[in-house]
Amino acid sequence: MAALGISAFQRPVKAKVPTADTGRPVRIGVVGVGGRGYSLLSILAGIENVHIPALCDIRPERVAIGQKLVTGAGQPEPEGYIQDDYAYEKLCAREDLDAVIIATPWDWHARMAVTAMKAGKYAGVEVPAAQTLEECWELVDTTEKTGVPCMMLENWSFRRDNLAVLNMIRAGLLGETVHAHCAYAHDCVTYFCDAEGQPRWQGEYLFTRNRDPYPTHGLGPVLSWMDINCGDRFDRLTTVATEPFGLRHYLQKIFGPDHPVLRRPVTQGDVVTTIVKTVKGKTIVITNDMVLPRPYDNRWLIQGTGGIYSQEHGAVYIEGRSPKSHEWESFASYQKEFEHALWRNAPADIEQRGHGGPDYLELEGFVQAVRAKGPLPLDIYDSVTMSSVVALSEQSIAQGGAPVECPDFTRGRWETRKPFFALDM
């Protein structure tokens, strides 16, 4: 694959709407065929003119399940790579691949994406894209040196409501955006431990780290709402965490006080709160709440000089437009009026295509970019900015909530870069 050059990561890109024109085949390998990888694979196998020549997983049974899915979609059986932890390197080296999708445990995301880019393959990597600041910089450096794009697969950037809010902001309804709140509030304690109470790979982090481990679902839409990396950027952040009450309470309740896992000290706080200050003096509150019992919630809120949107209320208030002064009105009419083109032109069965549709839209956009050999819907700078909160929050917590500086992954380009994500209006 020819290098695209750094300009390819800077120019605005009109939001691409799925069409019947599928063009040339796009050949994609998938690394990681667990629950998330299988879901992505099932969507890819249903996109016309997408071929899947290769799958990789350290578990042969998962590769076999993936192969069956692909052949069931009418394609030849993909070659399986199952030899060891580094079998993905052989997959990335194949000459018959245009791109690689990565859906593996978090510690492997960055190194696999770097390997794919160095082999000339577009990389689509699950969230978060990196665990450390060093990995963030390695992803940026590799993208810039090779000219090969990499995109974190942040599906909540493509949600129907979030894209309608983005159109409202770009139409000027909220004035200048000033403050945002977002969260990943999801009771995942049963995902962290198996039926015997032993930690799964995600659960192991509860005994070794204390940070916001999963900030990107909340931050995805906020970055485009606030033009982060396109006129503003993260300057510094501070993070605090509660003590770890939740996991021990759960384990004692389910398995009793003498369960062996209770002998291990838990380090991860139950609720983690991060406040980001931008260079232009704006603020973002990010909450992580994954252990205590609760319903799912993203708590999106965006506030500007002209009004406010609240996902929790399902409502907006627009100064001079809302019928009652300083009272909420339903978001429903705004959703209809400011519907994004990606949703206006989506397939009729879009809501059956992964998390209610966003998974399909992000993968369709990824495929179209690969086919056109152009920039991806989300770029590497936004991908690592979101992911960097993992490492930065850990630093701040360890320092008693002290502010820590946020790196400028754009190397100053944020001052002149123009908004590019999902341009519609």
pLDDT for residue 14: 42
pLDDT tens digits along 159-192: 999 999 999 999 999 999 999 999 999 999 999 9
Dihedral of CA atoms 368, 374, 380, 382 in degrees, nearest 10, equals -70
Q: Is 23 or 211 the better-scoring residue by pLDDT?
A: 211
Residue appearing with tokens 């380090």: 267
* Sequence-separated (6 or more) residues with CB below 8 Å from residue 42: 69, 354
Flag whether pLDDT at 11 surpasses 60. Answer: no
pLDDT for residue 3: 36
pLDDT tens digits along 386-412: 999 999 999 999 999 999 999 999 999
Q: Write out the E strands in 154-265.
A: 177-185, 234-241
Q: Are 346 and 334 in contact (CB under 8 A)?
A: no
* Neighbouring C-alpha atoms within 13 Å toward the C-beta of 51: 13
pLDDT tens digits along 87-133: 999 999 999 999 999 999 999 999 999 999 999 999 999 999 999 99
Separation in Å, CA 126 to CA 11, 110, 133, 189, 247 = 24, 10, 17, 21, 25
pLDDT for residue 148: 98
Task: Identify the band that residue 20 occupies on the pLDDT scale cut at 50, 70 and 90.
Answer: very low
- Please tell me the least confidently modeled range out of 47-56, 93-102, 108-117, 345-354: 345-354
Domains, the chain, with CATH or none = 6-155 (3.40.50.720), 157-349+379-415 (3.30.360.10)
Residue 66 — φ and ψ, nearest 5°?
-65, -40
Flag whether pLDDT at 2 surpasses 50. Answer: no
**Considering only CA atoms, which of 241, 245, 250, 242 is closest in space to residue 190?**
250
Averaged pLDDT, 336-361: 94
Residue 159 to residue 355: CA distance in whole angstroms = 9
Q: What is the pTM of this model?
A: 0.94
**Considering only CA atoms, which of 225, 176, 154, 190 is closest in space to residue 387?**
154
The enclosing H or E element of 36 equals helix 35-45
pLDDT for residue 425: 58
Q: CA-based diameter of the chain, in Å?
A: 65
How many helical (H) and strand (E) elements, i.e. helices and strands, does the chain have?
A: 14, 15
Separation in Å, CA 370 to CA 19, 70, 159, 338, 424 = 15, 20, 22, 28, 20
pLDDT for residue 354: 84
415: β partners: none
Residue 116 to residue 92: CA distance in whole angstroms = 5
Separation in Å, CA 54 to CA 64, 284, 398 = 11, 41, 42
Question: Which two three-digit tokens encode residue 181?
Answer: 């709140």
For all residues of the chain together, what is the average pLDDT?
A: 94
308: β partners: 303, 317
Task: Identify the band that residue 12 occupies on the pLDDT scale cut at 50, 70 and 90.
Answer: very low
pLDDT for residue 22: 59
**Percent of the chain having pLDDT more than 70?**
95
